[in-house]
A and B are shown apart, each in its own frame.
Chain A
Amino acid sequence: MSLPRNPLLSSTIYKLRQEFLELEKDSLKPKTWFKLTETMEKVVITGVIPTRGCSWALSETGGCSVCGYINDSSRDHKIPSEQIIEHIQQSLNQANPSKPIEFKLFNSGSFFDEDDIPQKLRSQIIDLLKKPNKIRLFSVESRPEYLLNHQDIINETNIRLKPITLEIGVGMESSNDAILRDCWNKGFLLDDYRESVQITRLNGIRIKTYVLIKPPFLTELEAICDSIRTSIDAIEIGTDIISFNPCTVQNGTLVNFLAKKNRFSPPWLWSVLHVIKTIRNQFPEQELICEPIAAGKQRGPHNCGKCDKNVLDLINRVINSKQIPNDLSNICPCYKRWQVLVTTPIEVFRTRNHSKLRFLNPLNE
């Protein structure tokens, strides 16, 4: 593992991303997005804010192979700081005042990256959150290198936030160095993740680990295996919570390029269920979450189209440690198809130029 990245992959991603951003230069707009969900015991506010954008994605490495969040970031535009502050304030005002709040703020990059979020904006946000005195948890994201290199900023933030718990989400995606390098183009290896998580947790900060399900190039079976292995490794390293993210196809990404050529398709929901079920069985107490984006759609994780809703329910039940039927084949006939796909090496042979593997039987394609 000498090189931290695969030049062929990285240059392809870079090319594709630049082409897309150039082409869509005028129509791409930074987007702010907020959502409130109220449960029995708490209010969860999820916000996505258009900061400058992930430095990794903006660099000449091209960024991660599946990530298109950069499309919604400010990039060369001015960061709409006032607007962001205003939205945060609004959402806090809207929250039910009798319940504690969990505030998840995603900048689709790294919260502790000075290039991505200017220091001023970051402190403004923190001050804003401290005021209402009802926030229990503040959750952000960061790449491991900032956890390692910006420990001072993180510690300072953590102290200022007290008594709010700080949670940092790290996109680990895979614990296999070759897959990190050759499939995700993450730019870091397992050891970087391990070190950053261990150091950060020493300061009482919670770590959320993202496990992406199904990278480009791998077969459905390989992707399942990799996600299971990754989750186990993340738990052993000490993550507080695992967030499973089934891969979606986003504009300007390598995955999009491959999907157009029929060389990539997002995972089956059965695969997602299988990964989560396996981890749940092994680690009954482990905190897990999974909120698939674009589930049931062509560009997101999906099954045959008839059972997608049901299987999403099952996924939720497993996440919440509830019972699900033993025999899944009764839920939908496509379960058997999926089972054959993953236990049969047909996918290993094909480069998928001319096949839609969800149909399996070449005569029906």
Chain B
Amino acid sequence: MSLEIEKCEGWGRIGRVFGKNGFITPNIVLLRFFDQDSFLSQNFLPKSLKCQENLIPSVLEKEIKSEKDSLSLQLSPKLFIYPSLQMQGKSLNDISCFEDLFPIDITKNSDSIASYHIIPWDLPIINLGQYNSYLKVLNDINEPELSNNTKLALNVPLMPEIFTQLLPILKDSTIEMVCLGDMSSLITHPTLLLKFLLHINSWVSPNIMLYAPGVPSSYIPILVYLGIDLFDLLFVEMSSVSKKRSDLIFEQNITVEFFLERLWLTKKALETGKLRDLSRIFANSFPPLKTLLRVADSQIPLENNTPLYGPNTLFCTDETDFTRPEVTRFRKRVQTRYTPPKHIRGIIFLPCSAKKPYSKSKSHSLFRRVIKRNMKRKYHLIEEVILTSPLGVVPRNLEYTFPAGHYDIPVTGKWSEIEKKHLITDITYFIDKLSPNIPMVGYVTGKEREILIEACSRSDRPIHLLSEEDGSLTSRENLQEFSRLLQDTFSSVPSKPKISAQLTFLRTVADYQFGKGIGSILIPNNVQIYGRKDFGFRVQLENKHLLTFRPKTGLLTLSLEAGERLSGYTSNTVTFDGDNIEGSTIFTNAIIKANEEICPNDEVLVVSTTDELLAVGTSYISGDLLVKMKRGKGIKIRQKVRRK
């Protein structure tokens, strides 16, 4: 049994655990408690709950009435919990072989459902912080021979000192699940919880599933987003006896049904690329949850595992979205990878529009008509730049590129301090890349105008603005003043021979996608460009297909030809173990190296160990996961080198 990743977002993933009785994560684990004493079950539990091998299901399962729920739980893995070594009458010193750890022979588990067995604790060792002795023993005993459905799980409490000890035992071992035992006591301590997750993530291989016991249902989306694969029904069970009505709207009268529905919703969100959005919705129900989401962006590198392009629309509805990975990545790439084309002699800053891409909006078609009319043959020397929140600065040539062509924000006209701060930073980055004699016009009013003034004064650059501070930019008067402004500012710009706008456009996108300066390497002047922006460009070089621009994502897809040109230049490179790729998919076990910055949906070059180009394709997962995952799809091949 082992895990394959089917889809990811942030640290969240849909996993498929293969095997005869596989299952899908995120999921619920059904807990089985080893019956320590028959007196107890006589006194606590109805007879009907007792089952073979002395393992009692957690009480709640009897309350699962709805057929739908019991059906969905049939596909959930089981987790067996055994008494501590002490209760079994053993101490760590008595453990000489694997069988000694358990009160029953777990190797002969014939259950039809995937079963995981928690390695019992040695209590003083754990509680006195001597986890390493415990792990050492586990490490020293022979690997167990388990049946295919039977796997081990390790419970890990919040003890930072143990994490360094974890690595050797978790690496290549039969442990396939880690239980984060202290998770439920940490949920109202978001910063600690995040620290715990960071530790775990740095030590536990992504091939291992993470299970968080006893957490409330409102935490499911965000915890999945932060990498948790499995949950349980303990919270429901514990809430059933609490007299206090919960303050949390999503936990009121929580039932198994609701709990499972939240999980189902989370899975759906992951499938459709909306997990972050769901996390935000739940985060708004409880301050510690919100803290968790806010702090996560600054402390956890979520970017690399967030798809390069996502769903049709990217909603940014509150301040947590200003720092969501899609936004941060766009801003970073514009800051570091974008360079204004060499021939540019003037800049016009414009406001954003609700319709995307901007140029399809009424306001932008008006603006552009005015600009074209005034600039005439110098039009191609002017760069239009859109100021917006939360993306910051969007050069016209990137207006199709995800998420610039896809985001949607609530329109209020008000800017928060953080939005202002971000925009000023981005404008400053942009201006500092321009040579000092390039004149700039700002056709913006209101807050954008103020922000633009502030950014320009910081960089000590003049900016030509509309006299009116507020008011409609589409009014006849303002458009007339815009005309005058353009005439005055750019009249001295010398005209230059025309450069293909399409070529500049494609190169800008290529830079954004593959790194600064890649555009001109990938796309030489003598290419033939077919099609239209809105329907996509097909680009050929010497009658061979080079690349395609897809307007839906605003990104390029590469051909083998393009791969050859990029070889050695782009960091989007993956090393394949072998020199003959079979089929149209490369699985992760065949990948020995991949650049860390590769994200899901990224275009990648597949090379051999001797750096020979073998194929081009799209990555399913991040570079880190491409290397670390033992199973699952890695690269979808578009075109590969034909061997004779």
**Which residues of A line the B interface, CB within 8 A?**
1-3, 6, 8-9, 12, 176-179, 181-183, 216-219, 221-222, 224-226, 228-229, 258, 263, 274, 278, 282, 333, 336-337, 339-340, 342-346, 348-355, 360-365
Contact = CB atoms under 8 A, between A and B. Distances in A.
Nearest to B233: A344
Interface in B545-567: none
A182 B124 contact: yes
Nearest to B192: A354
Nearest to B248: A363
Nearest to B157: A351
A217 B88 contact: no
A363 B91 contact: no
Contacts of A219: 84
Nearest to A348: B81
B37 interface: yes
Residues of A contacting B: mostly: helix
Given A354-B186, A363-B188, A225 B126 contact: no
Contacts of A333: 241, 243
A224 B215 CA distance: 26
B123 A340 contact: no
Nearest to B123: A217
17 contacts: A6-B124, A178-B90, A182-B91, A218-B84, A221-B40, A222-B36, A222-B84, A225-B36, A225-B87, A278-B39, A342-B44, A349-B179, A349-B184, A350-B181, A351-B127, A361-B244, A362-B214
A32 B184 CA distance: 47
Interface in B222-256: 234-235, 237-244, 246-248, 251
Contacts of A221: 36, 40
Given A8-B128, A217-B86, A363-B247, 10 more contacts: A9-B124, A177-B89, A228-B40, A343-B59, A344-B59, A348-B181, A354-B192, A361-B238, A362-B214, A362-B215
Given A222-B36, A343-B44, A363-B251, A179 B158 contact: no
B216 interface: yes
Contact of A350 (B40, B182, B240, B241): B182
A349 B37 contact: no
A8 B39 CA distance: 33
B347 to A, nearest CB: 53
Interface of B: 31, 33, 36-37, 39-40, 43-45, 58-59, 81, 83-91, 93-94, 121-128, 130, 133, 155, 157-159, 179, 181-182, 184-189, 192, 213-216, 234-235, 237-244, 246-248, 251
A222 B44 contact: no
A346 B87 contact: no
B127 A217 contact: yes
B214 A349 contact: yes
B123 A183 contact: yes
A95 B124 CA distance: 47
A346 B127 CA distance: 16
Contacts of B247: 363
B160 to A, nearest CB: 11
A346 B130 contact: no
Most buried by B among A222, A282, A350: A350
B84 A362 contact: no
A228 to B, nearest CB: 5
Nearest to B246: A363
A351 B184 contact: no
A349 B157 CA distance: 8
A346 B237 CA distance: 10
A228 B86 contact: no
Most buried by B among A226, A333, A352, A354: A354
